[in-house]
Amino acid sequence: MEKITVLGAGFAGCEAAWHLAKSGYKVELVDMKPVKFTPAHKSENFCELVCSNSFKAKRIESAAGLLKAEMSLMGSLCVECAYECSVEAGGALAVDREKFSALVTEKIRKNENITVVNRVVEDIPKGKVIVATGPLTDGALAQRISELCGESLSFYDAAAPIVTGESIDMNSAFFASRYGKGGDDYINCPMNKEEYEKFHYELVNAESAKTHDFDVYEGCMPIEVLAKRGEDSIRFGPMKPVGLTDPRTGHRPWAVLQLRRENSLGSIYNLVGFQTNLKFSEQKRVFSMIPALKNAQFTRYGVMHRNSFLDSPRVLDRSMRLKDSEDIYFAGQITGVEGYMESACSGIIAAMNLVRQLRGEPKISLPEQTMSGSLISYITDESVKDFQPMGANFGVVPPLETRIRDKKERYGALAERALDCLKNYLKKIDFWM
């Protein structure tokens, strides 16, 4: 039987190796620790938690809770271990960090189909491979990935916030492209002089997030830094109103924030030019001062840090396989999924597809009504122009046929639909785990 290599023993790599091994395949799991550590990692164990010990909400009416419920149906190792190592955290699934990583490591090492190899990888080995080396992939391996993917490997995550389309106040916004060119890909959020001046003051005085040495990014100007160059600096930059007429007034606004359609559904929108390093709470407070965003629901906040990730819509197919290779799959944060469990989920899906390829069976394509399916659909959606990493959120899931105004009820209905769809799909493909 063909041996399979998995590069990286983080969340995606461990899930991929676990699924392949449970499917009866021999797996070589290669991880550079303890030979070499990234600036963010200290432990020799697998699935090391760096940023938080929380895997977010447990309730299925939340995007994070629904994702974990779906992963459980697909036999997730990480979800199983997280519940075994959980600590009291209200409605969140939080874990004892050391116990969690140790338990995952123990289960992986005890599996007779998995061989762990500790070495620094500088090239992608021959044969079937799942690359799950994480957001700090660098050196010779990063160079090799760049060679395979052309210009489609980014080394910094300089992302603007994203909001749901349904939360935008269209009474304070309008569809238009500059000078009447183009369609309705942009929503324009105008501001008058007084609104803009108040917004500018709060923006330049807002609190920024702490950065690490390996986070420093000089290639893209945060909106708050640009704003400090003068009161009109962003009004002549990302918020320039030229070429736009507010239909409510018949005049050009004082300043305009443009929102660009982020996916083919048109369910989420990107704040154009608003790359930022502000704390998440400050982003919510300050950006909600823009009239059209007063009730905005943020599906992701802006970030600026070291983060290697592929331009996945251009280079990966929906099975997580590299479009130009029959042998190479990618999984984890390097594909542009954001979050521990999101990474783990992508590892499961990559492994499921590799197993089906080896067995000569059709690849899977999880229903878009599911959180896991919609997340994979987003990162492989060729209509996404300026791709940035994305975590689980209901903004990427197709809406219900019948609109439910109450958010909790709406999310509950979306979750119920997702789990029903996934159970039926797994039964259809004779999924056994």
pLDDT tens digits for 293-343? 999 999 989 887 667 889 999 999 999 999 999 999 999 999 999 889 999
Instruction: Average the pLDDT over 215-220 and give the result.
Output: 46
As a whole-number percent, the residues of the chain with pLDDT over 90 amount to: 67
Q: Read out DSSP for 358-399?
A: HTT-PPP---TTSHHHHHHHHHT-TT-SS---B---GGGSPP
Q: How far is CA 294 from CA 162, 288, 290, in A?
A: 14, 4, 6
Looking at residue 75, its pLDDT comes to 97
Tens digit of pLDDT for each residue in 419-428?
Answer: 999 999 999 9
CA separation for the pair 169, 177 (Å, rounded) = 18
DSSP track, 290-320 = SGGGTTPPEEE--EEEEEEEE-HHHHB-TTS
At 97, the pLDDT band (50, 70, 90 cuts) reads confident
Q: Shortest CA distance to 161 belongs to which of 309, 321, 338, 23?
A: 338
Q: What is the pLDDT of residue 218?
A: 42
Question: What pLDDT score does 363 carry?
Answer: 95
Whole-angstrom distance, CA of residue 373 vs CA of residue 380 = 11
- Tens-place pLDDT, residues 28-63: 999 988 888 776 667 889 999 876 778 989 999 999
Query: In this structure, what are the phi and psi dihedrals at residue 55, rounded to the nearest 5 degrees?
Result: -100, 25
Q: Is the pLDDT of residue 350 over 60?
A: yes
* pLDDT for position 213: 46
Residue 137 in this model has a pLDDT that exceeds 90 = no
Question: Is the predicted pLDDT of residue 108 greater than 90, yes or no?
Answer: yes
Rounded Cα–Cα distance for residues 54 and 14 (Å):
19
Per-residue pLDDT tens for 71-88?
A: 999 999 999 999 999 988
Length reported for the chain: 433
Share of the chain above pLDDT 70, in %: 93
Q: Evaluate if residue 91 carries a pLDDT over 50.
A: yes
For residue 111 the two structure tokens come to 């599996």
Distance CA 33, CA 24 (A): 26
So what's the pLDDT on residue 40? Answer: 64
Distance CA 55, CA 337 (A): 15
Domains of the chain: 4-157+308-428 (3.50.50.60), 162-301 (2.40.30)
* Res 157: pLDDT: 59
Q: Please state the pTM of the whole predicted model.
A: 0.78
pLDDT at 355 exceeding the cut of 70: yes
Contact 104, 17 (CB under 8 A): no
Q: Which of 333, 337, 317, 334 is nearest to 325 (CA)?
A: 317
So what's the pLDDT on residue 34? 86
The larger pLDDT score, comparing residue 111 to residue 217, is at 111
* Average pLDDT, rounded, for the chain: 90
User: What pLDDT does 172 receive?
Assistant: 96
CA-wise closest residue to 257 among 169, 180, 181: 169
pLDDT, average across residues 176-201: 86
Q: Which residue has the higher pLDDT, 405 or 349?
A: 349
Distance of CA 58 to the CA centre of its chain: 19
pLDDT of residue 136: 81
Instruction: Note the pLDDT of residue 219.
Output: 46
CB-CB contact of 359 with 139 (8 Å): no
* pLDDT of 90 higher than 90: no
E-only strand ranges, 121-250: 129-131, 153-159, 162-164, 174-175, 186-191
The reported pLDDT for the residue numbered 79 is 98
> What is the reported pLDDT for 431?
86
Residue 39's pLDDT is what? 66
Beta bridge partners of 219: none
Which residue type sits at 396? V
